[in-house]
């Protein structure tokens, strides 16, 4: 590297150090290091600010690709080309997710997108869900999917035998309130909260935040008479982890 280039590099590093100095403690906490290591971290970051982030993202991206390939293998499918406007957001958000459970949902969505599935807004929806939101939605999905594969399927078969038309399955027809009430203990165990309509002991208010969030995203219809919307059912279905 030429002397001029070295001077430019030194100038940039000096400017970076000065700019980051007020945030030493914040940076150390964000990176999961002890606060008293802030000075050392700041020195490292002058040279390696992007490297640690890139390494973390690289590791997450490798895991994302690995899980996606695993899911495609389970479903005996091969990936096909995905439009960049879908592929880039999927890879970016999937690589940024550090919760393995949620990243598996991204991998499932990526796998099914590569198989030709297209759901409007799925990426924007999934990136706004927490693990608790997904647990709640999974309970709702399991209840409705069981109806689809049992009662509704039999009705379709009977209608077909009579040569009658059967409309597509509509998940929004089924009230989830009773189902969630019956599974109160399971919800309490999995979400560490209790489904209560009249009181909120401890900190169950957080549970209602999860509920409000999935309603805000249009995945459930309301809290008074909760029903999975069509888009909610399709998004959760697309993010099911293959077994």
Average pLDDT, integer, range 80-92: 91
Does 113 share its domain with 150?
no
The reply to whether 59 and 98 lie within a common domain is yes
Residue 150 lies in a domain: yes
Length of the chain: 243
Together in a domain, 159 and 64: no
194-215 pLDDT, tens per residue? 444 434 444 445 667 788 899 9
**Would you state the structure tokens that stand for residue 99, as one six-digit string?**
């919760």
User: Higher confidence at residue 23 or residue 68?
Assistant: 68
Task: With cut-offs at 50, 70 and 90, classify the pLDDT of residue 139.
Answer: confident
Residue 240 has pLDDT above 70, yes or no: yes
- Clarify whether residues 114 and 167 are in a common domain: no
Which SS3 state, helix, strand or coil, does residue 7 take? Answer: helix
Residues 108, 143 within the same domain: no
Q: Is residue 210 part of a domain?
A: yes
Q: 């997450």: which residue's tokens? A: 60
107 plus 163 within the same structural domain: no
Query: Does 123 reside within a domain?
Result: no
Of 64, 94, 118, the position where a domain reaches its end is: 118
**126 near 235, Cβ under 8 Å?**
yes
- Which of 118, 143, 158 finishes a domain? 118
Interval 41-46 mean pLDDT: 56
Q: Is residue 62 part of a domain?
A: yes
Question: Looking at the structure, do residues 160 and 221 belong to the same domain, yes or no?
Answer: yes
Q: Are both 37 and 15 inside the same structural domain? A: yes
Residues facing residue 220 across a β-bridge: 228
pTM: 0.74
Show the domain range for 175: 131-238
If one compares 58 and 43, the residue with the highest pLDDT of the two is 58
* Domain contains 243: no
Choice between 3 and 196, residue whose per-residue pLDDT is larger:
3
Domain count, the chain: 2
Only one residue has tokens 């990426």, namely 123
Which of 87, 118, 149 marks a domain boundary?
118
| Residues 156, 113 within the same domain | no
pLDDT in tens, 106-118: 999 999 999 999 9
Model confidence at 119: pLDDT above 60: yes
For CA atoms 10, 11, 13, 14, give the dihedral sign.
positive
- Alpha-carbon gap, residue 56 to 127, rounded angstroms: 18
State how far the Cα of 182 lies from the Cα of 92, in Å rounded to an integer.
39
Any domain includes 136: yes
Residue 126 lies in a domain: no
Shared-domain flag, residues 19 and 105:
yes
Q: Within this chain, do residues 92 and 139 fall inside the same structural domain, yes or no? A: no
Report the pLDDT value the prediction gives residue 90, as an integer from 0 to 100. Answer: 94
Strand ranges, E, within 47-190: none
Are 112 and 161 contained in the same domain?
no
């Amino acid at each position: 590297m030429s002397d001029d280039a070295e001077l430019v590099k030194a100038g940039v590093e000096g400017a970076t150090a000065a700019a980051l100095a007020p945030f030493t403690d914040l940076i150390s906490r964000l990176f999961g290091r002890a606060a008293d290591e802030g000075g050392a971290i700041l020195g490292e970051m002058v040279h390696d600010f992007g490297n640690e982030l890139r390494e973390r993202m690289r590791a997450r991206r490798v895991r994302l690709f690995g899980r996606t390939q695993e899911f495609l293998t389970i479903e005996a499918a091969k990936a096909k080309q995905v439009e960049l406007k879908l592929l880039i957001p999927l890879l970016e958000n999937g690589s940024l997710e550090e919760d393995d459970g949620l990243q598996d949902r991204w991998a499932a969505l990526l796998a099914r997108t590569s198989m030709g599935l297209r759901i409007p807004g799925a990426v924007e929806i999934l990136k706004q869900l927490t693990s608790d939101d997904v647990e709640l939605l999974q309970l709702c999905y399991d209840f409705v999917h069981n109806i689809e594969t049992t009662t509704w399927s039999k009705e379709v078969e009977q209608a077909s035998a009579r040569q009658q038309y059967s409309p597509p399955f509509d998940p929004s027809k089924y009230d989830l309130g009773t189902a969630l009430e019956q599974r109160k203990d399971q919800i309490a165990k999995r979400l560490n909260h209790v489904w209560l309509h009249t009181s909120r002991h401890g900190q169950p208010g957080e549970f209602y935040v999860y509920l409000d969030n999935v309603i805000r995203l249009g995945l459930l219809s309301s809290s008074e008479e909760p029903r999975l919307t069509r888009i909610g059912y399709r998004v959760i279905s697309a993010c099911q982890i293959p077994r």
